[in-house]
Chain A
Amino acid sequence: MDSPDKPLEDPSWDGESSLSDGHDSADIDSDEPLLKGISPEPDPSIEEYYQLQQELVLLTLFLAVVIFVPVWMVYSLNIAFNCLIGACVGVVYLKMLAKGVEQLGRQKAKVGKNQLALFIGLILVASQLEPLHIIPIFLGFLTYKVAIIVSIFRSSSSILSEFL
């Protein structure tokens, strides 16, 4: 069914984009790819993303050091080092994931799986070498998730404090 205002045969009319975001259809060429708004150069608005990335890395390292001491006291130095190794690999994993997200839509069309290979290598090494244990390394690796949860709580508490 043709629109009464503009027929579908009209090549200058981009019905989808004008309906979806309300922009003037004159400045959106339908032949251009969807990603035309993404320039290869970093946008100033992406500073927020870099800031979050840096915050997560620093928070993960801080939590790894904080966790290291009680694990050393309760269990042993070997277990504590296992946790630290896992946390350090978690930081590398987080950096690789962040790099993949950063390149998404620019150089790459999807987020890579290289970071999973890093984790597989870690668990394989932990299962083969005698002084390494899988469970402490895996729990240390999950430190980055604790950092994410802490970061989300910090940001959401600042938003909540604005409302309350």
Chain B
Amino acid sequence: MDPLVAAASVIGAGLAVGLGAIGPGVGQGTASGQAVAGIARQPEAEGKIRATLLLTLAFMESLTIYGLVIALVLLFANPFA
């Protein structure tokens, strides 16, 4: 592999994971914290709150997964190699 392509791929992989994890990380933390606070206030609505949290976390984590896929493809199955 061309050293320039290899270096750019590694930098791109790091940026994809690092930058891609910032937003979902903040969002997941906020959503989880608010959900736990909501359950503490209204324990009778625990099932509904947890169900909503599961759906939102599944969507938020997929944003991290997109960045992860790009990084792993760049590192292990690089199309520009």
Taking beta carbons and an 8 Å cutoff, which residues of A are in contact with B?
Answer: 20-21, 34-39, 43, 45-50, 52-53, 94, 97-98, 101-102, 104-105, 110-111, 115-116, 119-120, 123-124, 127-128, 134, 138, 142, 144-145, 148, 151-152
New A-B contacts (11) at CB < 8 Å, excluding given A48-B51, A104-B50: A34-B37, A38-B39, A45-B45, A45-B46, A53-B54, A94-B58, A110-B29, A111-B57, A123-B68, A124-B72, A145-B58
Within the complex, what minimum Cβ distance (angstroms) separates A85 from chain B? 16
Are A97 and B58 in contact, with the CB atoms below 8 A? yes
Are A43 and B54 in contact, with the CB atoms below 8 A? no
Within the complex, what minimum Cβ distance (angstroms) separates A88 from chain B? 16
Count CB-based A-B contacts (< 8 Å). Answer: 108
Complex-state Cα separation, A97 to B58, whole angstroms: 8
- Report whether over half of chain A's contact residues are helix, strand or loop; otherwise say mixed: helix
Contacts of B69 in A (CB 8 A): 123, 134, 138
Within the complex, what minimum Cβ distance (angstroms) separates B47 from chain A? 4
Within the complex, what minimum Cβ distance (angstroms) separates B66 from chain A? 10
16 contacts between A and B (CB under 8 A): A36-B40, A38-B36, A39-B43, A43-B44, A45-B46, A48-B48, A53-B54, A97-B54, A97-B58, A98-B54, A104-B35, A105-B35, A105-B40, A120-B68, A127-B72, A142-B62
Within the complex, what minimum Cβ distance (angstroms) separates A32 from chain B? 10
Are B51 and A144 in contact, with the CB atoms below 8 A? no
Within the complex, what minimum Cβ distance (angstroms) separates B45 from chain A? 7
Within the complex, what minimum Cβ distance (angstroms) separates A136 from chain B? 13
Are B36 and A35 in contact, with the CB atoms below 8 A? yes
Contacts of A34 in B (CB 8 A): 36-37, 40
Complex-state Cα separation, A53 to B72, whole angstroms: 29
Complex-state Cα separation, A37 to B44, whole angstroms: 10
Are B73 and A134 in contact, with the CB atoms below 8 A? yes
Are B51 and A152 in contact, with the CB atoms below 8 A? no
